[in-house]
Structure 1
Amino acid sequence: MLVSLVYLVGRLGSRYEASLDNILVERSFSRNPVFEGSDVDVVIGVGDRGGYGIPLLRIIDEPPYRVRVSGEPVVETTLPRLSSTSGSYRVRPCMGMHSFEYITLVAQDSFRLYSSWRRLRVSGRLRAYPVYSGLAEALRRTTNVWFGGVKTRYRRGVGYDLYELREYVPGDDYRRIVWTAFARTGKLFVREDETESYIKIHLILDFSRESWAGLGCDCGVDHIGRAALSIIAGLLGRNDRVGYTIYRGDRWVIRTGLKPYTALDKLSTDLSLQSIKYSSTRVRLYRMLLESIRASPDSIIIILSSWGLMRRDHVEALAKALAMTSKPKILLYIIPVTSGIEKIASLEAEYLRKYTGVLHGAGIIPVVARGWEWAGVGLKVVGEVLARYALY
């Protein structure tokens, strides 16, 4: 009897080992890309190509840590011979690119007496755009000065609205001569129009490894992305120019001269492609700042960071590089709430005590905000600086 049982277990083991070697596995998503916090079904399909079949198959997925899973990422199903089946579970991704890598298959008999498993690499990527409208609307309700309050200035030049007529001066463009005025007066007059002036803004987003600290969707990069998009969203409907730099520690991407609608779309796409990279160094930070300033001269510089740029050598590199431009410069730190209120308060006091003098010497306005709810304080300062610059 014992010999028969051992023989049966051995036969089951070899059978399930062979069946797992002849299984095809694929992973797909019900929607991709999506906005952060949206429900997405992860569908895992399996197919038997060996003709063995499995009475009970457990599929265990390994989702990334920045993806919230509803329940357990485990699917139990039966796989008949030469057939296919599928199962799904639901996730809610945070902002960025999420890589799904491995799936574990566990084959068991109907009585769960024997099991065999395989860990397979089945790569899949889920993109999630950041959500920003909630903060922008809250700022419009709670602050007096926001981007909608920036008054439009006009300057004389080439435009569409008539400013005045003046007498012709040698060197004026003959195409701007008003011939109807010449017919009435016998003198040459040229048309002076007015056009809306605009401001230029360049955002620098710190996505180095240190800014990914936090839990779930309360990482520094989540707040940085939402704040950057909220700033651009506040400029919609204006003729301003926006540029931005995404700094990932080892490399960076610079885009300049974009209108707000275009910048909003491109930045949303770029943020959905981000994942944790390398730590920042003083040399790379300094080079990135110089290239950003050269690519977008005469722009207001707004740096959005979290834990990444708080070391003394980084602060000195910031001050040295940004001292080369005379335009307004704002350094906005957004610290995740999960870091602890007491730790944030002590850090804020220590940071402002140590480095405020260095930053002010380079004309940089430092602001420390606490998490998503408190980021409005920092963005209000940004709005006030932009309003002051546009008005005066």
Structure 2
Amino acid sequence: MRSTEESAGRPPEGEQQAAELRSELDELLRASRYASQRERRLNEAIRATPGRQRPDGDLLRQLAQARTLREGLGARCLQLSDQLEELELHLRQQQHPQHYPEHAEYAEHPGHPEHPPQPPHQTPPPPAPAPPPAPPAPVPPVPPARPDLGALTERITGLHRSGALPEAEELLDQAAARLAPADAALLVGMLARRGPTTGTSLRLARTAARSAPEHAVAVLAELRELGLAEEAAELFHAFWAYPAAAVPALLAALERSGQHADSATLLWEWGSAPTPELTSLAAHLQQHGRPADVRTLLRQAAGRPTADLVGLATELPPALATLLLQELAVLRPSVEVVRLAAALDGRRDLYGQLLAALLADEARHRTTLAALRAAGLPTAPPTAPRSRWGRR
């Protein structure tokens, strides 16, 4: 048993443990800040690669190591912080029990003011039930082990050199599906340095488009961050193959990542899609509450030949067909509007919508309305047929 002299001048065991945890946490925080600074410097060095040259492979490997270190240190800091918080709470409960009555022993002392002496022969009240134990503090999950991107690069390039292309492509597909966006972009860069003639980096970038829109867009941003312009373009072109139902989510992901120009480019490309696909996309955009994208898409489609525009107006839902005809009335020259009106003459509803768009601003469309009259086409809004139950 320790003597009083041996323990004099030393903090209690709990306080000593808390001091050690604080010291270790401070060291880890300093190391984490250093790893973050190193990661930022490596990113800047990679972005400074002149022209369209590939980033240096050694820089990419160092960046992967810095990210792994920074994330591991961050996870360990969280664990230590939780342990320290729990320990300090326990120490406070010991030092100030009056503030934590559920843990205080003094409340059981019979001479305490809150416990006056009981009259003789009086049965004491039953003790209060003990409070349930506090749930244990949640332990943050340990992050999964980061992949060895260098070894994965060597394996893929080795399979290519040996002619085992199916096996290499299977590895690329797995990497695109399982790697985090930052790791996927780093692997693309390493493959671009190791195998410039195999096309593996381009295939991996292209395959990333098969994942969820948020993940694919994050990979696109990481590729651009690393200066991998060719691979980023390959991934972006793969977005053009998305089905219409997936495009609204893709546009939203691009906007959230700050890549608004890509959203506009995608809509421009879709403006030349076949009529059934374009009609489907317009309907999906409308359903997802993106009216500005619907208008942009229909404006892009306004330059199609007259026959295509008639088919598009016929297949679109009525509200979107009206919007298309309004855009056509504004964007197309008079001679083309007259040609479109003649093609719609047999469709009373569509012709009426086009004419309503012209009559809404007669001063602006005076020339077009005169050309319609010269062509023998009606310029007065159609009247609704009288009901046989109406006034005679």
TM-score after normalising by structure 1: 0.21
TM-score scaled by structure 2?
0.21
Structure label with greater radius of gyration:
2
Write 1 or 2 for the structure with the bigger share of helix.
2
Return the structure number with greater strand share: 1
